[in-house]
Protein backbone atom coordinates (compact mmCIF):
# COMPACT_ATOMS: atom_id res chain seq x y z
CA UNK A 1 0.00 0.00 0.00
CA UNK A 2 1.28 3.48 -0.88
CA UNK A 3 1.01 5.21 2.49
CA UNK A 4 1.80 8.59 0.95
CA UNK A 5 -1.59 8.65 -0.78
CA UNK A 6 -3.19 8.64 2.71
CA UNK A 7 -1.43 11.81 3.94
CA UNK A 8 -3.41 15.03 3.60
CA UNK A 9 -1.65 18.34 2.92
CA UNK A 10 -3.23 21.24 4.79
CA UNK A 11 -1.79 24.55 3.55
CA UNK A 12 -1.28 27.45 5.96
CA UNK A 13 -1.80 25.44 9.16
CA UNK A 14 -1.03 26.21 11.96
CA UNK A 15 0.30 29.39 10.37
CA UNK A 16 0.74 31.07 7.00
CA UNK A 17 3.33 29.39 4.76
CA UNK A 18 3.38 25.97 6.49
CA UNK A 19 2.08 22.93 4.65
CA UNK A 20 0.87 20.71 7.47
CA UNK A 21 1.21 16.97 6.82
CA UNK A 22 -1.93 15.53 8.35
CA UNK A 23 -1.65 11.85 9.40
CA UNK A 24 -5.27 11.57 10.62
CA UNK A 25 -6.29 10.51 7.10
CA UNK A 26 -3.82 7.60 7.33
CA UNK A 27 -4.85 6.69 10.88
CA UNK A 28 -8.56 6.48 10.04
CA UNK A 29 -7.89 4.04 7.18
CA UNK A 30 -7.72 0.51 8.65
CA UNK A 31 -5.32 -0.82 5.99
CA UNK A 32 -3.13 2.28 6.22
CA UNK A 33 -3.00 2.05 10.01
CA UNK A 34 -2.15 -1.66 9.92
CA UNK A 35 0.48 -1.26 7.19
CA UNK A 36 2.21 1.67 8.89
CA UNK A 37 2.37 -0.23 12.18
CA UNK A 38 3.63 -3.39 10.46
CA UNK A 39 6.40 -1.44 8.70
CA UNK A 40 7.49 0.21 11.96
CA UNK A 41 7.42 -3.17 13.69
CA UNK A 42 9.52 -4.85 10.97
CA UNK A 43 12.15 -2.11 11.27
CA UNK A 44 12.36 -2.54 15.06
CA UNK A 45 11.74 -6.20 15.77
CA UNK A 46 15.41 -7.30 15.78
CA UNK A 47 16.72 -4.31 17.74
CA UNK A 48 16.15 -5.78 21.23
CA UNK A 49 14.16 -2.69 22.22
CA UNK A 50 13.33 -2.34 25.96
CA UNK A 51 11.15 0.81 25.75
CA UNK A 52 9.39 2.85 23.09
CA UNK A 53 9.45 6.59 23.80
CA UNK A 54 6.85 8.67 21.91
CA UNK A 55 6.74 12.46 21.58
CA UNK A 56 3.58 14.47 22.36
CA UNK A 57 1.16 14.17 20.89
CA UNK A 58 1.07 12.46 17.52
CA UNK A 59 4.04 10.28 18.51
CA UNK A 60 1.82 8.63 21.13
CA UNK A 61 -0.49 6.98 18.61
CA UNK A 62 1.72 4.60 16.65
CA UNK A 63 4.41 4.73 19.36
CA UNK A 64 1.98 3.20 21.84
CA UNK A 65 0.75 0.60 19.36
CA UNK A 66 4.34 -0.27 18.41
CA UNK A 67 5.34 -0.76 22.04
CA UNK A 68 2.48 -3.21 22.53
CA UNK A 69 3.40 -5.09 19.33
CA UNK A 70 7.06 -5.30 20.43
CA UNK A 71 5.97 -6.48 23.88
CA UNK A 72 7.70 -3.57 25.67
CA UNK A 73 6.62 -0.55 27.72
CA UNK A 74 5.75 2.92 26.42
CA UNK A 75 7.10 6.23 27.77
CA UNK A 76 5.66 9.67 26.88
CA UNK A 77 7.76 12.78 26.33
CA UNK A 78 5.49 15.77 26.94
CA UNK A 79 5.22 19.54 26.81
CA UNK A 80 6.15 21.32 30.09
CA UNK A 81 3.89 20.93 33.11
CA UNK A 82 1.96 17.90 31.84
CA UNK A 83 3.83 15.04 33.55
CA UNK A 84 2.82 14.67 37.20
CA UNK A 85 5.95 13.20 38.85
CA UNK A 86 9.58 14.40 38.89
CA UNK A 87 10.82 15.34 35.42
CA UNK A 88 13.94 16.10 33.44
CA UNK A 89 13.61 18.94 30.88
CA UNK A 90 15.39 19.84 27.67
CA UNK A 91 15.07 23.20 25.92
CA UNK A 92 15.88 23.56 22.22
CA UNK A 93 15.82 26.32 19.61
CA UNK A 94 13.09 26.87 17.06
CA UNK A 95 13.15 29.24 14.09
CA UNK A 96 11.80 31.90 16.46
CA UNK A 97 12.36 31.28 20.18
CA UNK A 98 12.67 28.02 22.08
CA UNK A 99 10.63 25.01 23.11
CA UNK A 100 10.90 22.60 26.03
CA UNK A 101 10.03 18.91 26.43
CA UNK A 102 10.01 16.73 29.53
CA UNK A 103 10.30 13.09 30.57
CA UNK A 104 9.73 11.42 33.93
CA UNK A 105 13.06 10.87 35.71
CA UNK A 106 12.20 7.24 36.46
CA UNK A 107 10.91 6.43 32.95
CA UNK A 108 14.12 4.86 31.67
CA UNK A 109 16.64 2.74 33.58
CA UNK A 110 20.36 3.04 32.81
CA UNK A 111 21.36 0.70 29.98
CA UNK A 112 17.86 0.27 28.55
CA UNK A 113 17.60 0.16 24.77
CA UNK A 114 15.19 2.82 23.56
CA UNK A 115 13.29 3.32 20.33
CA UNK A 116 12.21 6.95 19.84
CA UNK A 117 9.14 7.63 17.71
CA UNK A 118 7.37 10.73 16.37
CA UNK A 119 5.02 11.35 13.47
CA UNK A 120 7.24 13.70 11.48
CA UNK A 121 10.88 14.74 11.08
CA UNK A 122 11.25 18.39 10.02
CA UNK A 123 14.36 20.23 11.29
CA UNK A 124 15.17 17.48 13.80
CA UNK A 125 15.31 19.80 16.83
CA UNK A 126 12.52 18.04 18.71
CA UNK A 127 13.95 14.58 18.20
CA UNK A 128 17.50 15.66 19.07
CA UNK A 129 16.19 17.11 22.36
CA UNK A 130 14.28 13.86 22.99
CA UNK A 131 17.41 11.76 22.40
CA UNK A 132 19.31 14.01 24.83
CA UNK A 133 16.68 13.35 27.51
CA UNK A 134 16.85 9.59 27.01
CA UNK A 135 20.66 9.61 27.13
CA UNK A 136 20.73 11.79 30.27
CA UNK A 137 18.71 9.04 31.97
CA UNK A 138 21.29 6.45 30.82
CA UNK A 139 19.20 4.99 27.98
CA UNK A 140 20.75 3.88 24.69
CA UNK A 141 18.90 5.06 21.57
CA UNK A 142 18.88 2.02 19.25
CA UNK A 143 16.45 3.36 16.65
CA UNK A 144 14.50 6.50 15.74
CA UNK A 145 11.42 6.13 13.56
CA UNK A 146 9.00 8.56 11.94
CA UNK A 147 5.96 8.17 9.74
CA UNK A 148 7.01 11.17 7.60
CA UNK A 149 10.34 12.86 6.81
CA UNK A 150 10.64 16.25 5.09
CA UNK A 151 13.97 15.45 3.39
CA UNK A 152 14.51 19.04 2.20
CA UNK A 153 14.84 20.32 5.80
CA UNK A 154 17.82 17.98 6.42
CA UNK A 155 16.69 17.08 9.95
CA UNK A 156 18.62 13.84 9.55
CA UNK A 157 21.89 15.81 9.86
CA UNK A 158 21.15 16.52 13.54
CA UNK A 159 20.47 12.81 14.10
CA UNK A 160 23.48 11.46 12.24
CA UNK A 161 24.64 9.34 15.19
CA UNK A 162 21.44 7.28 15.12
CA UNK A 163 19.66 4.62 13.08
CA UNK A 164 16.90 6.79 11.58
CA UNK A 165 13.96 5.46 9.50
CA UNK A 166 10.91 7.14 7.97
CA UNK A 167 8.07 5.41 6.14
CA UNK A 168 7.22 8.34 3.82
CA UNK A 169 9.61 10.90 2.30
CA UNK A 170 8.98 14.31 0.75
CA UNK A 171 11.96 15.51 -1.27
CA UNK A 172 10.46 18.97 -1.93
CA UNK A 173 7.74 21.11 -0.36
Q: Are 172 and 152 in contact (CB under 8 A)?
A: yes
Question: What whole-number distance in Å separates Cα of residue 109 and Cα of residue 102?
Answer: 16
Query: For ligand AMP, which is the closer residue by CB, 19 or 34?
Result: 19
**Torsion-angle region of 119 (φ positive above 0: left; ψ -120 to 50: alpha; else: beta):** alpha
Contacts of 143 (CB under 8 A, 6+ apart): 43, 44, 47, 49, 115, 116, 162, 163, 164, 165
Q: Which of 39, 58, 90, 112 is catalytic?
A: 58
Per the annotation, the verdict on 112 as an active-site residue is no
Per the annotation, the verdict on 58 as an active-site residue is yes
Per-residue mark of binding to ligand AMP, 152-171 (x: CB under 6 A): ---x----------------
39 near ligand AMP, judged by CB under 6 A: no
Pick one of 120, 133, 134, 164: the residue that binds ligand AMP (CB under 6 A). Answer: 120
21 near ligand AMP, judged by CB under 6 A: yes
Active site residues: 58, 95
**Residues at the contact surface with ligand AMP, assessed by CB under 6 A:** 18-21, 55, 58, 118-126, 155
Amino acid sequence: MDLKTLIRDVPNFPKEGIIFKDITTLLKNPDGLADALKELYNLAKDKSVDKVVGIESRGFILGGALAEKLGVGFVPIRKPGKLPAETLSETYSLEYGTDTIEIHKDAISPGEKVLLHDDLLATGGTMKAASNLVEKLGGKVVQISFIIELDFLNGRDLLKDYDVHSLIHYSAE
